[in-house]
Amino acid sequence: MLNPESTFPDSNLGTSQNPKLKRVLIGIGGGIAAYKICEVVSTLFKSGVEVRTILTNSAQKFITPLTFSTLSRYSSFTDENFWQPIYSRPLHIELGEWAEVFLIAPLTANTLAKLAHGMADNLLTNTVLASTCPVVLAPAMNTDMWEQQTVQQNWQNLLKNSRFHSLQPASGLLACDRVGAGRMAEPSEIIAYIQSLLHTAGKRDLAGKQVLISAGGTREHFDPVRFIGNPATGKMGLALAQAALHRGANVTLVHGPLNSDIPLGIEAIPVVRAEEMHSAMMRCLPKADVIIMSAAVADVKPQDYSHQKLPKRSLPKSLALEPIPDIITELAKRKQSHQLLIGFAAQTGDIITPAVEKLHRKNLDAIVANPVDKPDSGFGSDNNQAVFLDKQGHQLEIPPCTKLQLAHHLFDFIGSH
């Protein structure tokens, strides 16, 4: 049903069937982690991304080209295709020119060594040299292999080339029963990095910058099991942290309780109460270049706290409350002239008027007016929409998109004014 000729019209591998679609090339290396790339390919395809896959000979020991052909709806390429003169131009040239982002996962020690020394002896490595797009590397190997001095030297040397973007292996139980570093990044983390690079084309405009972000909701307990809170999940703040990390920033994330894992490379400071978030943000403020308060912080807290769970019959009929100091107002008072402070205004109905008022009253550099009464937007959703405003009077409306895309639009906005 699928054949190499049908993959690209008129055997021209550089011409997409739909030029509006994003184009991702994925090279799969030989390792048990290759099975994870099935989810990557499937998810990208469902999101409207065109995907091409290259399998090394070793990869085919773990998973078949037919699997990826089925998931991507295009033929997978192997070294057997590389040496067949059935295309109008060399296959590695066509694939290299076609790709907007190139993922290599799992990256083996063997392929890493070849890339670090500019070697090209198969379709995958030849295509890397024939391309100019950003390349995402997701290593996976035994801990002792990963920690070998030669492997680490190859890794560090390769990352000196700005084309290459790293997804560091995590620690955990490996297929060899060893517990340690070498576990390939999870599909969700890989997909997020690819989506970032499709937006930025690999630019690292935040390199060397310290970005401080608050995320999630705070909880103000009146006994060990009951609290005043809100529906915030921290997804928006986590997306901001990922976007900043992918653009080269050093990221600190001060967050309330989350249901999501935090990717490697982000310094995470967990908190529960608004007072704890206040303390952490003030402590981290002096080193930050960009501060984004996306957390949904409580406005009030119970006056009294019981160290033991209150029985139902003892619950107060009315709860005495007291205000909580406003974190972003305090940040605005302490920030230096070189620092940018961005706030969020979660609103219903008219989102612009209260956001503009908050922008000026709290002396912010920019604000994100965020409707929380729209479908598939706001608290708990994977998507969002917003209007960006800054103190110079610029305004930009962002239609519904993923929270990661919204995060990148925000960094574009604050970087352009």
Positions marked catalytic:
176
Scan for tokens 């290759």, then name that residue: 34
Residue 28 structure tokens: 């799969």
SS (H, E, C) 287-314: HCCEEEECCECCCEEECCCCCCCCCHHH
Binding residues for CTP: 299, 309, 325-328, 344, 358, 362
HSE-up of 15 (CA within 13 Å, CB side)?
Answer: 11
Q: Please, which residues bridge with residue 213 across strands? A: 253, 292
DSSP track, 122-137: SHHHHHHHT--S-EEE
Burial class (CB in 10 A: 0-12, 13-18, 19+), 139: buried
Burial class (CB in 10 A: 0-12, 13-18, 19+), 146: buried
Binding residues: 299, 309, 325-328, 344, 358, 362
197-229 burial code (b ≥16 CB/10 A, e <16): bbbbebeeebeebbbbbbbbbbbbbbbeeebbb
Cβ atoms within 10 Å of 101's Cβ, excluding its own? 25
Q: Quote the DSSP letter at residue 83.
A: T
What gap in Å lies between CA 197 and CA 57, rounded to an integer? 28
Which of 336, 333, 403, 334 has the alpha carbon at shortest distance from 368? 403
User: Would you call the peptide bond into 106 cis, given omega within 30 degrees of 0 as the criterion?
Assistant: yes
What gap in Å lies between CA 73 and CA 124, rounded to an integer? 20
165 φ/ψ angles, rounded to the nearest 5 degrees: -120, 135
